[in-house]
Amino acid sequence: MRTIDRRGFLEMTAAASVLAALRPAAASAAAAQAGGGLKKALYVSMLPRELSYLDKFKLAREVGFEGIEIGTIAEPAVAAEIKEAAEKTGLTIHGVMNADHWRYPLSSADPEVVSKSVAGMETSLRNARLWGADTVLLVPAVVNAETSYKDAWTRSQKVIRERILPLAQELKVVVGMENVWNKFLLSPLEMAKYVDEFASPWVKAYLDVGNMLFYGFPDDWIRTLGQRVVKVHVKDFKQERGKSQYAWVNLGNGDVDWPAVRKALADIKYQGWVTTEISGGDAAYLKDVVARLDRIFAGEKPVVAPAG
């Protein structure tokens, strides 16, 4: 048996440490390849609220998620805690969800409201830069009794172009416009036109698979938006036929045609983050969500459980 001196022992130990550090990344790359380049993420609210960020992120990794999306964090100390937790666990913070676009719409006629909204986006963009995320989700406008559709379009574009995109470009963070129940951008053709009019690589579409089921089909939206899609949210939605009742349910328990969604993502050659934005739960529940995502990535229908 060959004798190993202290230096040799330390070199072998260091090499082993490097290999161990690489294994999660290699496993993650293998999983992404198996899923056609799609990567599994969850929104932070799905993790138990009582846990610290470090323990939340550990749990996310343990059940099989590779990344996470975080809401805007205004407190520097909390933002630093999140960054440290991600570094320690190897969980990628891939995106930030802006927090102020509902309370303070960019489409408002009130300059003070708009300024508060812009300040919120600035915080979101700086969060993204700190955490290494490459997108910020934005609800660009809200149509209501005070704001017409036309005004929502023109006002929001002007503010985004003049007061948000310069910082996004400086920080190299994409602004992803989400389709959501804001009575705005109700078709994929409108979403495509809205995004294209910015003529900027820093504006893309953040597609939510569940949000358009009242008025469209996810696979149609995906194919129409094509390369404009920068990120994807997944949730499932169950509507009572002939009624106005509805419910958000677990993946596979609703009306989304998941094989059609997967085929459409493959058709546009989308390879990136797919983030679950559904109810949270414990480790067993989260493992089941990951298993459902794996089936979706494979082009299959998720397993349907009795409860949503």
- Residues with pLDDT less than 70, the chain: 1-35, 241-245, 304-308
State the pLDDT at residue 245.
Answer: 66
In angstroms, the Cα distances linking 296 to 86, 119, 251, 284 are 26, 37, 9, 19
Mean pLDDT across the chain = 89
Q: What is the pTM of this model?
A: 0.87
Q: For residues 221 and 179, is the Cβ–Cβ distance under 8 A?
A: yes
State the pLDDT at residue 69.
Answer: 98
Break the chain into its structural domains and give their ranges: 34-297
Helix (H) or strand (E) holding 230: strand 229-234
Note the CATH architecture for domain 34-297.
Alpha-Beta Barrel (3.20)
